[in-house]
Chain A
């Protein structure tokens, strides 16, 4: 229940950070109206969940009676409307139509896969009770997550937008949108019996997420563009969904801890850049370090904290899984933790690589 109270506050925080952005090197701010519309689109799922709760379903508020079931169409529409609005509104600001189109394909297919799997009424495990339904549902959940959270090998749709110039846009696409989706998924997982319906496959889903997040950490340290790095970093929010599948409740806690860890990183990325930059591309790590030495140091520290949190949770999950006897999934969790740890120890991370 506390998720419902915290969600709008944290989103307000994230949103206000982009609203008061002072980066002069960016072409321009998002307009005030556009900004407000993006924020309203991201608040839609929360508003609809609260609306459905106050419609008189409070007495059935338990694990097996989803308060969303009565307003399932609204759930579906709010998710799709949110994505479509965000993507259509930002289209005017994006320079490369092909990159945007690829992101659009990723988002739309991702949400369709997610609806097929998780929608309180249309979702396959709720509509059909068979082994095949469980398999298709688990697979669509994984594919949907990989597309929406930009996990390899399906990350390209989202990552291609990384070279765009508008910082506020990146925060909306990479942080707020994923936070919002994570909230909707965690809420739906918490208030219906989806996990029990596909219990045998929940380990496969968690394992796939751990492997995907581990792969993002391997490529994270090679990024020289700040916003591509941000995109790969926020892919880690998918980890809390895996945790929620394995150990309910802990996923939600970890999710909020991760978002709190992201706030300083987003704040630093929004800082004022010096006028002395001489028109250089400040989205590049090397230039950012040169002109914003202190901010770059703090950004590194924020990144390390975020990643150490991930390492700790991955290792704890691996131990918990090993104690339960699921050694293969424990190994994937260990892999995710190890990959995140390597990034924190790499002294040459985010530095430009010289061609051999």
Chain B
């Protein structure tokens, strides 16, 4: 039951975007990192 409540709480936090700033910035970093790496990987494969 406690586990279910925990999951409910997490989903609620995502939907209401209560936990915004930090988590969103973190996800942004991941995306940027992946994009830059893709560029490097293309260059590495071409050379």
Q: Which residues of A contact B (CB under 8 A)?
A: 88, 91-92, 97-98, 101-102, 104-106, 109, 131, 134-136, 138-140, 142-143, 146-147, 153-154, 156-157, 200-201, 203-204, 208
Q: What is the total of A-B residue contacts with beta carbons within 8 Å?
A: 65
Cβ of A101 and Cβ of B33 under 8 Å apart?
no
Cβ of B44 and Cβ of A200 under 8 Å apart?
yes
Cβ of B26 and Cβ of A105 under 8 Å apart?
yes
Among A92, A104, A136, A147, contact of B30 (Cβ-Cβ < 8 Å)? A147
Q: How far apart sit A4 and B13, CA to CA, in the bound complex (Å)?
A: 40
The residues of B that contact A134 with a CB separation of less than 8 Å are 45
Among A105, A106, A136, A146, contact of B33 (Cβ-Cβ < 8 Å)? A146
A143 to chain B, nearest CB (A): 5
Q: Which residues of B contact A (CB under 8 A)?
A: 2-3, 6-7, 9-10, 13, 19, 22-23, 26-27, 29-30, 33-34, 37-38, 40-42, 44-45
Q: How far apart sit A156 and B10, CA to CA, in the bound complex (Å)?
A: 19
The residues of A that contact B42 with a CB separation of less than 8 Å are 135
Among A88, A106, A143, A201, contact of B44 (Cβ-Cβ < 8 Å)? A201
Q: How far apart sit A91 and B45, CA to CA, in the bound complex (Å)?
A: 42
> Chain B: interface secondary structure?
helix
Cβ of B41 and Cβ of A139 under 8 Å apart?
yes
Cβ of B30 and Cβ of A138 under 8 Å apart?
no
Cβ of A97 and Cβ of B19 under 8 Å apart?
yes
The residues of A that contact B30 with a CB separation of less than 8 Å are 109, 143, 147, 154
Cβ of A135 and Cβ of B41 under 8 Å apart?
yes
Nearest 8 Cβ contacts at the A-B interface: A135-B41, A139-B37, A204-B44, A143-B34, A139-B38, A101-B19, A98-B19, A138-B41
Q: Closest B-chain residue to A135, C-beta based?
A: B41
Q: How far apart sit A214 and B12, CA to CA, in the bound complex (Å)?
A: 39
Q: How far apart sit A143 and B22, CA to CA, in the bound complex (Å)?
A: 19
Q: Given A139-B34, A143-B34, A157-B26, A201–B6 Cβ distance below 8 Å? A: no
The residues of A that contact B22 with a CB separation of less than 8 Å are 98, 102
Q: Given A98-B23, A101-B10, A153–B41 Cβ distance below 8 Å? A: no
| Sample of 7 further A-B pairs with CB below 8 A, known A102-B23, A139-B34 | A97-B19, A101-B10, A131-B45, A135-B41, A143-B33, A201-B44, A204-B44
The residues of A that contact B13 with a CB separation of less than 8 Å are 97, 101
Q: How far apart sit A208 and B30, CA to CA, in the bound complex (Å)?
A: 15
Q: Given A88-B3, A91-B6, A154-B33, A105–B23 Cβ distance below 8 Å? A: yes
Q: Would you list 16 pairs from A and B whose C-beta atoms are within 8 A, ordered by A residue?
A: A88-B7, A97-B19, A101-B10, A101-B23, A102-B22, A109-B27, A135-B38, A135-B45, A139-B38, A142-B37, A143-B33, A153-B29, A153-B33, A154-B30, A203-B44, A208-B37
Q: How far apart sit A201 and B2, CA to CA, in the bound complex (Å)?
A: 46
